[in-house]
């Protein structure tokens, strides 16, 4: 995974869910879950909201390189 050092995920106040949603199951390391929970405490966002923000940010800033 490459480092996108100029990009930052800015966490803003909660917003209403947009559109239709679906449940997806993912496995995360215990360390990642602890990090997410630390952010939930600081921001008031749920773990689910933070994961959604991270996924959206990753998709919007992803670059696929063909070797």
Q: Which domain holds residue 46?
A: 30-60
Domain total for the chain? 1
Residue 56 resides in a domain: yes
Lowest mean pLDDT: which of 5-14, 24-33, 45-54? Answer: 5-14
User: Which region holds residue 19: left if phi is over 0, alpha if psi is between -120 and 50, else beta?
Assistant: left
In this predicted structure, the answer to whether residue 31 has a pLDDT above a threshold of 90 is yes
Integer angstrom CA distances of residue 26 from 10, 53, 54 = 23, 15, 13
Q: Evaluate whether residue 15 is within a structural domain.
A: no
14: exposed, middle or buried (C-beta count within 10 Å: 0-12, 13-18, 19+)? exposed
Is 14 part of a structural domain of the chain?
no
Q: Is there a domain that residue 4 lies in?
A: no
Q: What is the pTM of this model?
A: 0.71
Give the list of residues 6+ apart from residue 65 with CB closer than 8 angstroms, or none.
Answer: none
Is residue 50 within 8 Å of residue 19, measured between CB atoms? no
């Amino acid at each position: 995974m490459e480092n996108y050092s100029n990009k930052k995920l800015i966490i803003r106040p909660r917003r209403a869910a947009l559109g239709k949603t679906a449940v997806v199951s993912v496995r995360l390391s215990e360390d990642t879950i602890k990090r997410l929970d630390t952010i939930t405490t600081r921001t008031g966002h749920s773990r689910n909201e933070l994961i959604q923000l991270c996924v959206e940010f990753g998709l919007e800033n992803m670059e696929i390189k063909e070797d």
